[in-house]
Structure 1
Amino acid sequence: MVYIPFFSDTSVPFEPSKDIPSLAGKVILVTGGNTGLGKQSILELARYGKPAKIYLAARNQEKAKGAIEDVKNHAPDAPIVPLDLDLTSFESIKKAARTFANQEERLDVLMLNAGIMAVPNATTKEGYEIQFGTNHVGHALLTKLLMPTLLKTARRPEKPDVRVVVLTSAGLGLASPGEGIKFDTVKTDGSALYTWTRYGQSKLANALFARELAKRYPEVKAVAVHPGAVDTQLFFPFAESFGIFNFAATALVRPFLKTVEMGARNQVWATVSKQVESGEWYTPVGIKGTVKVRGTDLARDDNLAKKLWEWTEKELEGQEI
């Protein structure tokens, strides 16, 4: 089987209207829920699963409110709560976690959906390379701060199915061959690496984080999922810099992209399907990601997963709600 990053699509049947079970009583938090895959996932889960509450975490609260209005046009009774969250700022992350913890006694699903791709060299407020800091470090801190609530939920008498769903990408194959994550670059502006290499190592970190999370916290089912190549704002953040080539590039690629509705099925599947195995990463829809990407198997490297976890824990030491 030939596996082409982004465009390969081997699927299993999944229809949200039929296959999302009742989520009655459950509380869900989705990062980056104001647009694209996050917004669509919230719609599907609210419309068909009818959970007790869904927190829509986003940096832009005006857009978050607009997204909630859009969702309610399709699911008028959707119990959505906006949550202010900037993944590039530890203070914002801690404030969001504190707000959630003060309002809720349980958390059944934490969907780490937000992400950036192919952006110019920059750093987060704490000095992490912007893609690695946003896609991995910010989400890792949020998960760390919400873990007590996740564990408390998992230990309830009814034994709820508690999950952390992490969006990775087949783009993890763009990380440095062999090494995977160049730890000496992740607390710089990343100028020593190509943009796509930086993106690749951030997405590799997502897959490895889910894998190690599953080992460290067996009470919680952790899974990483590649949504496929989806026609969202994320896919062309860099197109404007190509001027006249923007139109040609868009015209060439867009016919191969999935709609947001189709792309969101992958993470919704990972949220509710009984087929999901904790610690694995999956390609669309629900096919276990066992195919090696670019001749490597870094996403299943347990030593690298452990190294990343220990590095991350050291970086987040002392961070509390």
Structure 2
Amino acid sequence: MNTIIMTGGTFGLGAAAAQCLSASPDTRLIIGGRETHIPLDLASQSSVRRFARQVLDTLGKIRINALVLNAGLSFPTEARTEDGYETTFAVNHLGHYLLLRLLAPSLARNAIVVLTASNTHDPLYSPVAPFPYVDAYQLSQLDLGKDPRGGVAFEAGFRAYATSKLCNLLTARAFAHSNEVKARRLRIIAYNPGYTPGTGLGRNLPNGALPGLSTALSPYFAESMRIQAGEVLADLVLGRIVPPKGHLYASLVRGQLTWPEPSELARRDDVSQQLWRDSAVLTAMD
């Protein structure tokens, strides 16, 4: 039995991936979400801990073959989580970091871990670049301001999202270089699905913030993009697509999966290790 734990599997490309994973023979898929059988709210560290405990209690001695950290949020309506952290950073990075730390000891040998990243992490590709620093303490206390039309300010909100995706890449890098991963021959992948309509990431955007981006796509084309992004994610999780040696960043570009180098900042080991240590403090895992 292939046991897979997944976040963000009820909507958008995650739902498409979950459908593929569920259809795979001898596969047990457990999805964490606010309305799933085992509830999970990534904005709450206590919820993440409860979810991890319930998963481990449910599995007993069964090992986890794949962990898919796919859920994401942008332009949150709430500025702070119950733990007192900026919501984008808390959900996209800290929640997944904590879940990874809690479930890592139960990963099977040769297990696969996939974190959904984004090419918005790279200033070369993003019109609104991430913040030019990765300081977990500073990011956790950001004040994103308010847009006159309601919600968080657009540029600050987009920078916060892009930076959280940079943190996903740095987390993947730090974990991939750990002795734990090397000893058990785990496979770590950061996956950029590209722009995918219907994911819900922009549902809290002010009206007109990104004019014409999704409306220019036909419903059929938008749906095909969502399904393809989900199918590629599923193939990575199931091991049907194997990264080239020395690469962990997978990027879907115009329908083709590529393995480019991430941004210069995303490749820095000192930054990834510092983020790992600081995140441990912020999640009480130190």
Match of 1:281 in 2: 249
d(CA) in 2 for partners of 1:208, 1:51: 32
Task: Select between 214-223 and 257-266 the one with higher mean Cα deviation.
Answer: 257-266
1:106–1:149: 8 Å Cα contact kept in structure 2? yes
Q: What amino acid maps onto 1:282 in structure 2?
A: A
How far does the alpha carbon of each residue in 1:120-179 deviate from its partner, in whole angstroms, 9 at most, with x for none? 4612221221111001100111111111111xx21xxxxxx30110000011122124x3
How far does the alpha carbon of each residue in 1:49-69 deviate from its partner, in whole angstroms, 9 at most, with x for none? 2233100111124xxxxxxxx
2:21–2:27: 8 Å Cα contact kept in structure 1? no
Match of 2:33 in 1: 58
d(CA) in 2 for partners of 1:246, 1:224: 26
d(CA) in 1 for partners of 2:200, 2:258: 23
The percentage of counterpart residues that share the same residue type is 24
How far does the alpha carbon of each residue in 1:175-205 deviate from its partner, in whole angstroms, 9 at most, with x for none? 124x3x2434322243278111111110000
Secondary structure in 1 matching 2:67: strand
Out of 177, 189, 198, which is 1:223 matched to? Answer: 189
The 5 Å alignment of 1:262-301 reads 262-271=228-237, 272-276=239-243, 277=245, 280-284=248-252, 285-290=256-261, 296-301=263-268
Q: What amino acid maps onto 2:112 in structure 1?
A: R
d(CA) in 2 for partners of 1:140, 1:92: 13
Task: Select between 226-235 and 245-254 the one with higher mean Cα deviation.
Answer: 245-254
Match of 1:77 in 2: none
Secondary structure in 2 matching 1:224: strand
d(CA) in 2 for partners of 1:39, 1:32: 8
Q: Does 1:146 align with 2:103?
A: yes
Secondary structure in 1 matching 2:115: strand
1:123–1:189: 8 Å Cα contact kept in structure 2? no
Q: Does 1:242 align with 2:242?
A: no
Distance 1:141 1:279, change over 3 A: farther
Secondary structure in 2 matching 1:124: coil
1:208–1:308: 8 Å Cα contact kept in structure 2? yes
Distance 1:185 1:237, change over 3 A: farther
Q: What amino acid maps onto 2:258 in structure 1?
A: I
Match of 2:158 in 1: 196
Shift of 1:37: 1.6
Q: Which runs of 5+ in 1 are unaligned?
A: 1-24, 62-81, 155-160
Runs (4+) of structure 1 moved beyond 4 Å?
245-249, 253-258
Task: Select between 247-256 and 272-281 the one with higher mean Cα deviation.
Answer: 247-256
Q: Does 1:44 align with 2:20?
A: yes
Match of 1:251 in 2: 215
Q: What amino acid maps onto 1:145 in structure 2?
A: L
Match of 1:314 in 2: 281
Say how many residue pairs are matched: 258
Out of 299, 302, 306, which is 2:269 matched to? Answer: 302
Distance 1:246 1:222, change over 3 A: closer
Out of 113, 117, 128, which is 1:168 matched to? Answer: 117
Distance 1:36 1:148, change over 3 A: same
Distance 1:242 1:44, change over 3 A: same
Q: Does 1:111 align with 2:76?
A: no
TM-score, length-scaled by structure 2:
0.81
Q: What amino acid maps onto 1:88 in structure 2?
A: A
- The two structures, once aligned, show a CA RMSD in angstroms of 2.5
Out of 133, 136, 148, which is 2:93 matched to? Answer: 136
2:65–2:112: 8 Å Cα contact kept in structure 1? yes
d(CA) in 2 for partners of 1:114, 1:226: 13
1:212–1:279: 8 Å Cα contact kept in structure 2? no
Q: Which runs of 5+ in 2 are unaligned?
A: 123-128, 146-154
d(CA) in 2 for partners of 1:139, 1:210: 11
Q: What amino acid maps onto 2:114 in structure 1?
A: V
d(CA) in 1 for partners of 2:96, 2:41: 10
Secondary structure in 2 matching 1:259: helix
Secondary structure in 1 matching 2:140: coil
Secondary structure in 1 matching 2:242: coil
